[in-house]
Amino acid sequence: MFSNKYPDVKLEIIYGNHDELYRMLISEEIDIAFNDQRRKFSDGYNNILLSVRKTFVEVSINSKLAKLKKITAEDLKNIPCILVSSDNQKDIEYEYYYNIMGFKGDYLFVSEPHQARLMVMNNQGFMIVDEGSMEESMFIKRIELCVNDFQHTKNYCLFWEKENSGYYIEELAECFKQVLKN
C-alpha cells in the first residue's frame, strides 16, 4: 500500500523478535517498529495501538486439558511451555513468559514454529499463540488463555521516536492503521 503510493521511497524491512527490534529502535538503527507491547509506553516515542489480539494456548487433542474451554497459567504449571526462539534470545523469552506471563513450569525451546506445533501435536507441551497468527489444526485444541477470569490479549503497536516524526513515517503509520484495524 505504502510502496504503491510512494514508489520512489525505498523501504527496508527488517525482521526481528521483540527485543531485537526494541534495541534497534532505541539505537536509531530503524525508524519505526511494528511489535507487540511488552513495556509501558514511553513519552519519548509515538506509541500507536493498532490491534488487540486474543491469546490462546494450544495443546494436543490427546491432552487431558483439551476438554477445557478456558485455561490459566496455573492449569499449565506441570506442562512444558514450548517457545520458538533463537539461541541468543532464550533467556529473554524465558524471563518474559515466566515472570510476566506467569508460566512457572519447564520450558522447551525450538527454532521454528512448525517444530513447536509438532511437539504440541505429540503432547510434549503447550504453546502460546495469538488470534489469527497460525492456522488451526485438527490435531491441536486451541483454548482461551485467561487471567483473573478475563481472556488475555496482546497489543500490537507501531513505535517511533517523536523527534523522528516526518511525513513518510506518518504515512506509513496510516497504512498500518488501515490494514490492521481492530
149: domain CATH number is: 3.40.190.10
**Which domain, by its residues, includes 39?**
2-51+156-179
3-state secondary structure of 35: strand
CA distance 38 to 156: 10
Q: Is the same domain home to 145 and 160?
A: no
Q: Is the same domain home to 21 and 58?
A: no
Q: Is the same domain home to 63 and 42?
A: no
Per-residue pLDDT of the chain (182 residues; tens, 9 = 90+): 999 999 999 999 998 888 889 999 999 999 999 999 998 999 999 999 999 999 999 999 999 999 999 999 999 999 999 999 999 899 999 999 999 899 999 999 999 999 999 999 999 999 999 988 777 789 999 999 999 889 999 999 999 999 988 889 999 999 999 888 75
Q: Which residue is listed with cell 492456522?
A: 135
Number of domains within the chain: 2
Task: Give me the pLDDT at residue 53, please.
Answer: 92
Q: Is the same domain home to 47 and 77?
A: no
Q: Is the same domain home to 47 and 61?
A: no
Question: What pTM did the predictor assign?
Answer: 0.83
Q: Is the same domain home to 95 and 114?
A: yes
Residue 108: how many other CB atoms lie within 10 Å: 15
63-86 b/e (C-beta count within 10 Å ≥ 16 → b):
bebeebeebbbebbeebbbbbbbe
Task: Give me the pLDDT at residue 134, please.
Answer: 75
Q: Which residue is listed with cell 516524526?
A: 165
Q: Is the same domain home to 72 and 114?
A: yes
Q: Is the same domain home to 84 and 39?
A: no
Tell me which long-range contacts 173-182 makes (C-beta under 8 A, separation of at least 24): 173/32, 173/46, 173/48, 175/1, 175/2, 175/5, 176/34, 176/48, 176/50, 177/48, 177/50, 178/1, 179/1, 180/50, 180/51, 180/156, 181/51, 182/50, 182/51, 182/52
Task: Give me the pLDDT at residue 181, please.
Answer: 72
CA distance 177 to 48: 9
Task: Give me the pLDDT at residue 57, please.
Answer: 97
Task: Give me the pLDDT at residue 154, please.
Answer: 92
Q: Is the same domain home to 36 and 86?
A: no
Q: Is the same domain home to 62 and 148?
A: yes
Q: Is the same domain home to 22 and 75?
A: no
| C-alpha grid cell, residue 146 | 485467561
Q: Is the same domain home to 82 and 105?
A: yes
